[in-house]
């Protein structure tokens, strides 16, 4: 099954309107934790660019990926 990033972004935009502002970061974190295994890097970056909370969630995952790459280089 392939997930279309545009459909995913549109769905997120609709649903996030029903999440209280104080809970939006936690909702974004939960969603990114699931999608990290389902989307490719470019798709994940594209989706993450659609909302500030998603961008913050992606930044939390990025340092882990960079650390793994740095260890492989050594």
pLDDT tens per residue, range 14-67: 999 999 999 999 999 999 999 998 888 899 999 999 899 999 999 988 655 454
Query: What is the pLDDT at residue 63?
Result: 58
pTM for this predicted structure: 0.76
Q: How confident is the model at residue 69 (pLDDT cuts 50, 70, 90)?
A: very low
Torsion sign over Cα 28, 11, 52, 38:
positive
More confident residue, 71 or 47: 47
Residue 10 domain boundaries: 5-73
* Number of independent structural domains in the chain: 1
Query: What is the pLDDT at residue 13?
Result: 95
Q: Which residue has the tokens 């649903």?
A: 15
């Amino acid at each position: 099954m392939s997930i279309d990033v545009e459909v995913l972004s549109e769905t997120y935009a609709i649903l996030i309107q029903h999440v209280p502002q104080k809970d939006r970061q936690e909702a974004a974190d939960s969603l990114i934790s699931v999608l990290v295994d389902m989307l490719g890097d470019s798709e994940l970056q594209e989706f993450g660019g659609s909302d500030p909370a998603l961008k913050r969630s992606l930044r939390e995952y990025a340092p882990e990926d960079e650390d793994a790459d740095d260890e492989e280089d050594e």
